[in-house]
Amino acid sequence: MGDLKLYNTRTRALERFVPLRDDEVRIYVCGLTPSAQAHLGHARSFLFFDLLRRLLSHLGYRVTYVQNVTDIDDRSINRARETGEDWYAIVSGYYADFKASMRRLGVMEPDAEPYATKYIPEIQAMIRALVERGFAYAVDDGIYYRVSSFPRYGKLSNRNIDELQAGARIEVDEHKQDPLDFALWKFAKPGEPKWAFDPYGDGRPGWHIECSAMSHALLDPEGRGFDIHGGGADLIFPHHENEIAQSEPLMAHPPMANVWLHGGLLNFDGRKMSKSLGNFEPLADLLERHDPQAIRLTFLTTGYSKVMNFTDESIASANATLERLKRTYRRLAAVDAREPQREACMLLPKIEAALCEDMNTSVALAELLQWSPEATPEARSEFERALWLLGIEPGAAWLEAPQVMLPADLAERLRAEFSGEIAFDGESAEEALQRVIAHRAEARARKDWAASDRLRDALARCGITIKDSKDGTQWTVAG
């Protein structure tokens, strides 16, 4: 297995990854709260963890990947109250759109996809244990976690608890004892969805306790920790900090997760995505405007933990990169599979080495783009495996050369440019172009490089750019 190194938010260090259980890796990633439309920032986070999952599988690990659904929260309830819609219909509709977008982006299905409302008994059992051990208390409006009972609070986010208390406040409708305390269970208000919880009272869970209970139930029932917990950088505080505070007092052997991984935030045209700023576009709409694989390639150009700016220029560059990959794939796919096998092509080890350095996707992508092997069956296999590792999966359409519209007057331009040198006989524009390319090939065969260059420059004046390689000459319309 490769020597994978990852930046661990918990220790604030780049560390060699060692699974807690031999060759098994258990991952929990905070999923979507589908009370609104998913956006490109969500896509960036889940695309990164999809890439990590692919790498770990490639390295030979048995991966269990859990990604939850927060299907009950204040926003969906408030929206239902405002619109008269059923709160779960709101959640279900937004989540169905998100799942369709993930499929279009090539994101693999989670091994488990727990919904918070399906884990109410597990959530209540954890809350009950926290109350019994003095880490939580019940008041008039709900059950709260007592932050002062957990000395390590603030360690993940590297925050000072005194400074946090100075900046915190208690809302007018909250009855908690300390401004930093947070809700584990919210007692039901009229018209809200609720679940019975004896002896405390009907209500619904708080956000943070859901992830603690679901990760414990699915990945760590023994309380000895699991391998990787992930999410966006905006979840470090308070969500992930609160998860640790809830989980570790009930564990046999903390920490809750050995490695905490956080993806960087995404700006859209230089600004944080916001409806008020007018730069928010639903992910589903964006996927109608852009090739999903080009979006995936866009994210590969920037390190996962860095803030990234998504612009029209970045997606245009990714589209050009995608076309380069398609051309390479067509060239490799054209080889006869019955040809004798040759030596290994050594592309995958280079990509693996880049990804093992804290998921350095920009170097991995550069290795893929600069690779220009001889067309052999094993080269095609190597290329396909490398594409899969990066989450780019070629379909049947990749084998079809793009239809390029030649200028309507190209045949006339070529006849005028090459009059007296090449005999034309009423050919179509493409036939005339191929006649010029064949004439130039003859000059190259004679090693008449001056004639070859002159013909190339003449074609450029006619709006045609050509490129020579060991597999022949390719042309494209300039620009």
CB 361, CB 321: distance < 8 Å: no
The pLDDT confidence band at residue 194, using thresholds 50, 70 and 90, is very high
At residue 31, does pLDDT exceed 70? yes
CB 38, CB 98: distance < 8 Å: yes
Cα–Cα distance, 160 to 165 (Å, whole number): 9
- The pLDDT assigned to 464 comes to 87
Amino acid code (one letter) for 161 = I
Amino acid code (one letter) for 387 = L
CB 36, CB 75: distance < 8 Å: yes
- The pLDDT assigned to 439 comes to 84
Tell me, yes or no, if the pTM score tops 0.95: no
At residue 7, does pLDDT exceed 70? yes
- The pLDDT assigned to 2 comes to 65
- The pLDDT assigned to 3 comes to 92
CB 207, CB 73: distance < 8 Å: yes
With 0-12 / 13-18 / 19 or more C-beta atoms within 10 angstroms meaning exposed / middle / buried, residue 330 is middle
Average pLDDT over residues 114-124: 98
DSSP strand pairing (62-67 vs 24-29): parallel
Cα–Cα distance, 243 to 235 (Å, whole number): 10
48, containing H or E segment = helix 40-58
At residue 333, does pLDDT exceed 70? yes
- The pLDDT assigned to 417 comes to 86
Residue range 372-394, pLDDT digits in tens: 888 888 899 999 999 999 999 99
DSSP per residue, 228-286 = EEEEEGGGIIIIIHHHHHHHGGG-SS--SEEEEEEEPPEEETTEE--TTTT----HHHH
- The pLDDT assigned to 463 comes to 84
More confident residue, 308 or 278: 308
Cα angle for residues 185, 239, 99 (degrees, 5° grid): 95
Domains detected in the chain: 5-272 (3.40.50.620), 311-399 (1.20.120), 410-477 (no CATH)
Amino acid code (one letter) for 222 = E
36 phi, psi to nearest 5 deg: -160, 175
Cα–Cα distance, 234 to 273 (Å, whole number): 13
- The pLDDT assigned to 438 comes to 81
Q: Residue 361: how many CB atoms within 10 A of its CB? A: 21
* DSSP bridge partners of 271: 268
Cα–Cα distance, 13 to 162 (Å, whole number): 25
User: Which residue in this structure is represented by tokens 């004892």?
Assistant: 177
Average pLDDT score over the chain: 90
Q: What is the 3-state secondary structure (H, E, C) of 381-423?
A: HHHHHHHHHCCCCCCHHHHCCCCCCCCCCHHHHHHHHCCCCCC
DSSP strand pairing (13-16 vs 24-29): unpaired
CB 332, CB 377: distance < 8 Å: no
CB 446, CB 404: distance < 8 Å: no
